[in-house]
Amino acid sequence: MAIDIGGTKIAGALVHPDGTMSATTRRATPRGADAEGVMAAVTEVVADLSGSPLWASAVRCGIGSAGPVDTSRGTVSPVNIGAWREFPVQARVAAELAAHGAELPTVLAGDGVAMTAAEHWLGAARGHANALCMVVSTGVGGGLILNNQLHPGPTGNAGHIGHMSVAFDGEPCVCGSRGCVESIASGTAIARWAREQGWTPEAGASGGNGAGSTRDASAAGVAAAAAAGDPVALAAFDRAGRALAAAIAATATLVETDIAVIGGGVAASGDVLFAPIRTHLAAYATLSFVKELQVVPATLGTHAGLIGAAAAATMLLPSPPSP
């Protein structure tokens, strides 16, 4: 059983051992609701799942959630769900399952860790014993596979590469540190820096090359402009790629990962993002044991949340006793 909680949707599914899904359901994440109002949407998702004929076959439940998370306490404080601060989501979901006759072991995973579990099980990190997986979107998160095991850390935040500092004299980050990867390479940061350098969608469109013709001032608009050759947009992605490359190389040097898988909305920019990452990686990953480090796009897309919640449950919870 998998539940995926994010700022725009709350989804659920029953996930088979081969990764296929049944009884998929979703609700919009309530806007302006209090904590119980948001939980009500989760309750509805559980109720939907309980109507499946496969409900009684479930053996464990994985909950993936936007963070911050504290898996040692089973609580979440998602940046994009303001009503939930230290909300005991794991205990509340377990109670809902029991109310529908399914007293299952449950586990909570942050969305970056869940994505990592998914990509290792069925995606781009499959077959790699040591991997870093990342989500580059409005924020930058991640997770680690070490010796074929998911490594969430004591509170579920290991691998949170977005708050690794790569610029000692960089600008302050929302986390309180300086020069964090997220403050340089998130979609929000890319768009902000490009605008600060004078880029606008209108300026891109006036060049006659189609850049920014969608009048999109987000990172997607900057990516379109970069693909069309706009120098400021290209510089914005080069700057982001360098920050990501430095952090990927540092992680690989520390724990000997041999692949970095990158998903999220900014990764949809394709070579606009991946080309500068790979170029700069050559300057940072110089030791013999990291020279062959690969950087590849994630493959599971929007399914990563639910598949990852199920994968995290499989990897972190004990197997049920044999009948």
pLDDT tens track for 150-169: 999 999 999 999 999 999 99
The residues that bridge with 206 in the sheet, in sequence order, are none
pLDDT at 1: 96
The residue to which tokens 């790979």 are assigned: 278
Query: What does pLDDT average to over the chain?
Result: 93
Question: Are residues 126 and 120 in contact, defined by beta-carbon separation less than 8 angstroms?
Answer: yes
pLDDT at 301: 87
What's the residue count for the chain? 323
Closest CA to 305 of 277, 275, 245, 263: 263
Query: In the predicted model, what is the mean pLDDT of residues 295-316?
Result: 95
Query: In the predicted model, what is the mean pLDDT of residues 293-315?
Result: 95
Query: In the predicted model, what is the mean pLDDT of residues 137-162?
Result: 95
pLDDT at 215: 62
Of the pLDDT bands very low, low, confident and very high (cuts 50, 70, 90), residue 289 is: very high
| pLDDT for 318 beyond 90 | no
pLDDT at 207: 41
| pLDDT for 190 beyond 50 | yes
Of the pLDDT bands very low, low, confident and very high (cuts 50, 70, 90), residue 280 is: very high
pTM of the model: 0.91
- From the CB of residue 149, how many other CB atoms can be counted at a distance below 10 Å? 13
Quick one: which H or E segment has residue 294? strand 294-297
| pLDDT for 214 beyond 80 | no
Quick one: which H or E segment has residue 242? helix 231-255
Query: In the predicted model, what is the mean pLDDT of residues 33-48?
Result: 97
- From the CB of residue 114, how many other CB atoms can be counted at a distance below 10 Å? 34
Residues 6+ apart with CB under 8 A from 204: 211, 212, 213, 221, 224, 225, 228, 230, 233
| pLDDT for 322 beyond 80 | no
| pLDDT for 46 beyond 90 | yes
48-80 burial, b at 16+ Cβ within 10 Å, e below that, comes to: bbbebeebeebebbbbbbbbbbbbeebbbbbee
pLDDT at 203: 56
Of the pLDDT bands very low, low, confident and very high (cuts 50, 70, 90), residue 206 is: very low
Share of the chain above pLDDT 70, in %: 95
